[in-house]
Amino acid sequence: MKSALVIGASRGIGRRIALTLSKNNYQVGVAAKTTDHTLELPGTIYSVTNEIETSGRTALALPCNVRDEQQIQNAIQSCLEAFGGLDFVVYNAGAILWKKVLDTPVKRFDLMQEVNVRGAYIMIQKVLPYFLEKKAGKILLVCPPIYSRFFKGKVPYSVGKVGMTVLVHGLATELENTGVSISGLWPATAIESHVTTVKNVPQELMRKSSIFADACLHIAEETNLSLINGKALIDEDFLRAKGVTDFSAYRCDPDKEPPRMMPKAFPSLLVEGDSLTSKL
């Protein structure tokens, strides 16, 4: 049986990723900071683990504050010991504040960088030696393609999220021909979550988190690493490439297809003479 670690899995998209992987025969490490249920933050690593175990599958609850390097190391090591290995790691932890530079205090800026790009970097550093030794393993970061419109009105947040995408594009060159891959994934539309519930986002504007989780599963199962290594993927577009044509089941409002918030095409970051194997 394969195994996966999902960091940021106590609610929303992360919870759904963990449940979807479990239903498809993955042992799952459910990692997040939230260990106590509150009205402000419903769902914990224990509630998600219980959902998985109730269905007769294997899961491991892992307290993990991603600002603490040792806790990330502990989560990975716990999975290796409990599952006898790891095949797939997902970094879904995130700190969000969509405000302009002058409206974002330095303390909040630091928090976003620590949770988003720094936490992802630590996870990669801790799991990569194991993946490289066994010459197999997939890393997935929840981060966007790089394009100018993404930055507008939320530069402080974008710094960390795009930094994660740089990790995806850059590390891919180091992983070529190793059997290990790194990918980014981002939603094409708004996705239901605790945040959208709190903000009362209309149902017709969103898709269910299952679309993102299904795209994660396809990445986890992909055998042609050239299709995913170093790629900043969009959930809908990747699923279409895998043969999915009907997305109506993902609608939050069954009668309305939500508007796409991502561009249909993204600019190439390659320059003349560039390639995956370029060293400079």
**C-alpha of 114 from chain center:** 16
**Sign of CA pseudo-dihedral 162, 168, 171, 172:** negative
Q: Verify whether residue 250 is a known catalytic residue.
A: no
Q: Which tokens sit at 22?
A: 């479990």
Q: How far apart are CA 247 and CA 244, in angstroms?
A: 8
CA distance readout (Å), 48 to 40, 71, 106, 154, 277:
17, 19, 33, 31, 41
- Taking the CA atoms of residue 63, residue 65, residue 66 and residue 70 in that order, the dihedral angle to the nearest 10 degrees is -80
For 249, other C-beta atoms within 10 Å of its C-beta total 12
Out of 26, 91, 121, 157, which one is annotated catalytic? 157
Answer whether 144's CB lies under 8 Å from 231's CB. Answer: no
- Taking the CA atoms of residue 201, residue 205, residue 208 and residue 209 in that order, the dihedral angle to the nearest 10 degrees is -70
DSSP bridge pairs for 60: 29
Q: What is the 3-state secondary structure (H, E, C) of 221-243?
A: HCCCHHHCCCCEEEHHHHHHHCC
- In the block, tokens 């700190």 appear at 95
- In the block, tokens 């479990």 appear at 22
By CB atoms closer than 10 A (0-12, 13-18, 19+), residue 203 is middle
3-state SS class at 182: strand
Among all residues, which ones are annotated catalytic?
A: 157
